[in-house]
Amino acid sequence: MFQVTRELRFCYGHRLLNYNGKCRFLHGHNGRALITLAASNLDELGMVVDFSEIKRVIGGWIDSHLDHRMLLHKDDPLLAYLQAQGEPVFVMDVNPTAENIARLIYKIAAGQGLPVVEVRLWETEDACAVCDSGS
Ligand SMILES: [Zn+2]
């Protein structure tokens, strides 16, 4: 089995609903998503998937949907106000935790036909969440 991992960096803001810590307030992160793909056999170029293809497909999606946006739960009372002000938001059905952002990126990668096996989202220098095929 071969694996490749591509790191994609992006900035996002969020806050957590029904959470009794400082993450209930609006704040931002310099996030790092590590996308790991796997294959039993390499392609004719000797690759699992070209690193630049991972950046083009997943990085492109992140740039247009998550980067420099406020990620908010669909029930967040601030959502309507921020949208009315023209602020860029990304609406999630679940709390925008690192775990759920990792799962979101995993599903996007899988939906694009990439052989993703893990997405690791580093929310800070010290903390990351992992979504894999068993999640
Ligand atoms: Zn946070």
Assign 6 a pLDDT band (cuts: 50, 70, 90). very high
Angle of CA points 64, 65, 71, to nearest 5°: 145
Assign 134 a pLDDT band (cuts: 50, 70, 90). confident
Torsion angle in degrees (nearest 10) through CA of 111, 87, 24, 12: 50
Token pair of 131, please? Answer: 């979504």
- How many angstroms separate the alpha carbon of residue 39 from the centre of ligand 1? 33
- How many angstroms separate the alpha carbon of residue 3 from the centre of ligand 1? 29
Distance CA(76)–CA(82), nearest Å, equals: 10
Q: Is the pLDDT of residue 135 over 90?
A: no
- How many angstroms separate the alpha carbon of residue 2 from the centre of ligand 1? 33
Question: For the chain, what percent of residues have pLDDT higher than 90?
Answer: 97
Q: Which are the catalytic amino acids? A: 23, 68, 123
Within 13 A of 3's CA, how many CA atoms are on the CB side?
8
- How many angstroms separate the alpha carbon of residue 48 from the centre of ligand 1? 33
- How many angstroms separate the alpha carbon of residue 23 from the centre of ligand 1? 5
Q: Is the pLDDT of residue 87 over 90?
A: yes
Assign 126 a pLDDT band (cuts: 50, 70, 90). very high
